[in-house]
Amino acid sequence: MALLEVKKLGISFGGLRAVDDFSVSIEKGDLYGLIGPNGAGKTTIFNLLTGVYKPTDGSITLDGVNITGKSTIEINKAGIARTFQNIRLFSKLSVLDNVKAGLTNKYRYSTATGIFRLPKYFRLEREMTERALELLRPFELDGDADVIAANLPYGKQRKLEIARALATDPKLLLLDEPAAGMNPKETAGLMNTILTVRDDFGVTVLLIEHDMALVSGICEKLSVLNFGQLLCEGPTGQVLNDPEVIKAYLGE
């Protein structure tokens, strides 16, 4: 059984058909890429998968559970987390507190426990701190735990956003243009980060990306979107050599 099964997904905004009849099947452990020209509908699909938009038609199944039309919070609890093209961190909080924010669904205490600082409060805060540091360590961010997020270099902010997403314990991580704004050295480091997510954390990855060096270097399978419709899909090498894909990117 596929981890993510999307069938005939579609959405319309007024008279505009933004995504039409989109289907994809992603297996557990895949490094899967979603590519296409600007305006093809890629981020719209991510918004449909995470509950930001409700589909006009079609279905979304995660690990055998139908999550079509559920709220963002429900979908996150079901096992999908994401990052954004424009990094969204709690910029005034520390690196550690950003990751602890992602842990709040799993470490809960009552309002009274928090106000009166009962023993459970200190126990859970200690456990959250230990877990947050465990999540930061593979990304070499544990040494920056007390740094304010806004003061991190750009590449480290990207890593922090991924670490915070992993704090929600996802089965599937959606990465929206993770290499945007990165220099070649940072992009090379990002490839290692994504492999860490899949290999060390056991999380399946679906990414949107325009950097073809990153796509060809890390994605095992691709779907190509154009004008909201699936153009082709398959193994990365085969897709990137498809004449229709080349035509779409060159705008011929």
Domains of the chain in start order, with CATH, are 4-79+170-250 (3.40.50.300), 90-152 (no CATH)
**Predicted confidence (pLDDT) at residue 14 exceeds the cutoff of 90:** no
Cα–Cα distance between 60 and 82 in angstroms, integer?
Answer: 16
Categorize the per-residue pLDDT at 117 as very low, low, confident or very high, splitting at 50, 70 and 90: low
Q: Which pTM was predicted?
A: 0.93
- Of the candidates 64, 34, 69, the one whose C-alpha atom is nearest the C-alpha of residue 51 is 69
Q: What is the pLDDT of the chain when averaged over all its residues? A: 92
Report how far Cα 219 is from the mean position of its chain's Cα atoms: 14
At residue 197, does pLDDT exceed 70? yes
- Taking the CA of residue 73 as centre, how many other CA atoms within 13 Å lie in the half-sphere pointing to its CB? 2
Three-class SS of residue 218? helix
Reduced to 3 states, what is the DSSP secondary structure of residue 249? helix
Mean pLDDT of 14-26: 94
| DSSP β-ladder status, 65-66 and 204-208 | unpaired
pLDDT band for position 164 (cuts 50, 70, 90): very high
Pair type for strands 16-26 and 4-13: antiparallel
